[in-house]
Amino acid sequence: MEADPRRLRLLAIVLVSGAALVVALALALGSGGFDAWLIAELRAPRVAAAAGVGALLALAGLSMQVLLRNPLADPYVLGTSGGAACGALLALMIGASLTLGAAAGALLAGVALLVIARRALAASDDATARLILAGAMLAALFGAAVSLLLTVTPDQRLRGAIFWLVGDLSGAELGGWCLAGAALFIVALTARHRSIDRLLLGSEAAALLGEPVRRLRLELLVAASLAAGLAVACAGAIGFVGLVVPQVLRLAGVQRTRWLAWMSAVGGGALLVAADLVARLAVQPMELPVGAVMALIGAPLFIVFLSRGAR
């Protein structure tokens, strides 16, 4: 059941305030204090990339959970991450742009899934199982390809490739694009919030209410694939954001898409900015892979909220 408006407003205030605090700390810490030049030239682009990537992953996870009606769905369950990783490694081996290679791989994975599972988008809840299986097989296929590519990657590039595969924001250059993409995604989800809420009732119920179920599922799949592809192209393979953030908000009582859309984006951005801050400062002067740090933060956080939600 939807939380009462007062609780939602309080949660929104806490979420926005916490996100603002995390961003302020990330801009200042590790950059020699509040040095204007360092913040503008070094810290701000990385913080923007982390916020944009986190927002995109959270929104993609929200869309996948609606599409599959499965609380355990996230952007990587359908093979987008594996496709992007394959494209990035191939680009690294031939000396091409890592970002373009990852984007091309993610796009290939999305197109392959659409071709394989086009009938799974029909107005039937049983089709979601076929969609999950198709994505799992694509993920396994791309995972095997990544393993093979790593075995033939030159030694001087191997460490960088592995570091990127578990998430790396040190060289992120698409922060502005990620933030813009997240903003467009929020607008799209908010504009279709009634249709998406009806889809959560089940395909048959949504169809009886006059919703074009097949088209709506296709829109959600394409949007989530594009969002995940852009995020992976910017920062590598970072998990748990799309799984944890929407579910934590639901356990807190937020159920409607018009609230979940922007709250997921703010929460995902803040969570990844915080994970990146820990990755930079934990073992200075070394830097940890942000994807591993995100898993260490996200998994316990999800377990705590899940246990409280169950009670």
Average pLDDT, the chain: 81
Kindly tell me if the per-residue pLDDT of 99 is higher than 60: yes
DSSP class of residue 4 equals P
What CA–CA distance (Å, rounded) separates 98 from 245? 28
What pTM value is reported for the model? 0.86
Our measurement of the distance from residue 186's CA atom to the centroid of its chain's CA atoms, rounded to an integer in Å, reads: 13
Kindly tell me if the per-residue pLDDT of 308 is higher than 70: no
Instruction: Place 261 in a pLDDT band, splitting at 50, 70 and 90.
Output: very high
Residue 306's alpha-carbon distances to 12, 300, 311, in angstroms, are: 20, 10, 9
Contact 233, 53 (CB under 8 A): no
CATH number of the domain encompassing residue 143:
1.10.3470.10
pLDDT at 142: 87
Number of neighbours of residue 34 by Cβ within 10 angstroms = 10
pLDDT at 3: 63
pLDDT at 59: 94
Kindly tell me if the per-residue pLDDT of 123 is higher than 60: no
pLDDT at 119: 61
More confident residue, 81 or 199: 199
More confident residue, 145 or 110: 145
pLDDT at 84: 79
- What are residue 53's phi and psi, to 5 degrees? -65, -45
Kindly tell me if the per-residue pLDDT of 118 is higher than 80: no
Which domain range does residue 82 map to? Answer: 5-310
79 torsion bin: left (phi>0), alpha (psi -120 to 50), beta (else): left
The count of domains in the chain is 1
